[in-house]
Amino acid sequence: MKLKCIIVDDEPLSRNFLKRFCEKSERADVKGTFANATDAILYLESNEVELIFLDVEMPGINGFQMLDHLSNLPEVIMTTSKTDYAFTAFEYNVTDFLKKPVDYNRFIDALNKAEESYKNKPAPGEKRDIVIKSNGDYVRIDYDDILYVEGMGDYVKYVTPDKTYITHSTLRAVEDTVCKTNFLKVHRSYIVNIKKINQLTDNNININGVNIPVSKSNKAELLEKLRTT
């Protein structure tokens, strides 16, 4: 996996170091380096990247102001020589915060975080939660909380660690809406959250103490998902 990235820093040596670290890691593909935020914003208007290495203090638009200009935020690793900005960086929900001068090991830690966060990010248009009608009430369920979904004819059962919700729907409809990265139909009656699987035996998986059957036809895909998710 190679994240498409740009580097935004007014200081040439810092830019070169980050570029070199990206090349050395072979895990980040540097699509451009920019000495100011304005040029980077222009670039991002017509190009998509998955990661930005962003300096905080720059002449003109600073790093945080640049983030304000962007509607779709990729992973962001802030780089600065002052730790004073750490709290603001936290408020902007950036992936990581690197203090200059950055050493290679710390850089790799940040890159690991960015990769992990990128993998877990919903695709554009993909939702993080679902609203269902259960027992006459509308309930919002975060996809991350769902252990599995069980189909029961014209009804489905959403199972979370704390509660079970039954709603009028079909497993097919659920399959069309859930995040394809984390969910998989493993049986004609079950869609499971891959991340919640505790154990896989011959033709069963165990999630939170519940055994769920796996169809022969779905097993290969499940194993592949478990390897890559």
Partner 1 sequence: MPFAFDTKLDQTFLESLYGDDVQYAQEVFEGFLADTKNEFEKIKSDYRQNAVKNMRQKLHKIKPTFSFVGLTALSEKTETIIAACDVSANTREIEPACSVLFKEIEDSFLLIETELIKMRNHT
Q: Half-sphere exposure of 95 toward its Cβ, with a 13 Å CA cutoff?
A: 25
Please report whether residue 128 would count as binding partner 1 according to CB under 8 A: no
Are the C-beta atoms of residues 12 and 61 closer than 8 Å to each other?
no
Are the C-beta atoms of residues 92 and 64 closer than 8 Å to each other?
yes
| Shortest separation between residue 221's beta carbon and partner 1, angstroms | 43
Which one of 7, 8, 14, 44 is in contact with partner 1 (CB under 8 A)?
Answer: 14
Please report whether residue 104 would count as binding partner 1 according to CB under 8 A: yes
**CA angle (160 as vertex; 215, 73 as ends), nearest 5:** 95
The two tokens of residue 90 are 């936290």
Please report whether residue 103 would count as binding partner 1 according to CB under 8 A: yes
* Window of 65-73, 95-103, 114-122, 167-175 that interacts with partner 1 by CB under 8 A: 95-103
Q: Which of residues 34-93 bind partner 1 (CB under 8 A)?
A: 57, 59, 81-82
Q: How many of the other CB atoms lie within 10 Å of CB of 114?
A: 25
Residue with tokens 């165990």: 206
Paired with 139 in beta bridges are 132
Nearer to partner 1, 13 or 223 (CB): 13
Which one of 29, 36, 86, 100 is in contact with partner 1 (CB under 8 A)?
Answer: 100
Binding site for partner 1 (CB under 8 A): 10-14, 16-17, 20, 57, 59, 81-82, 100-101, 103-105
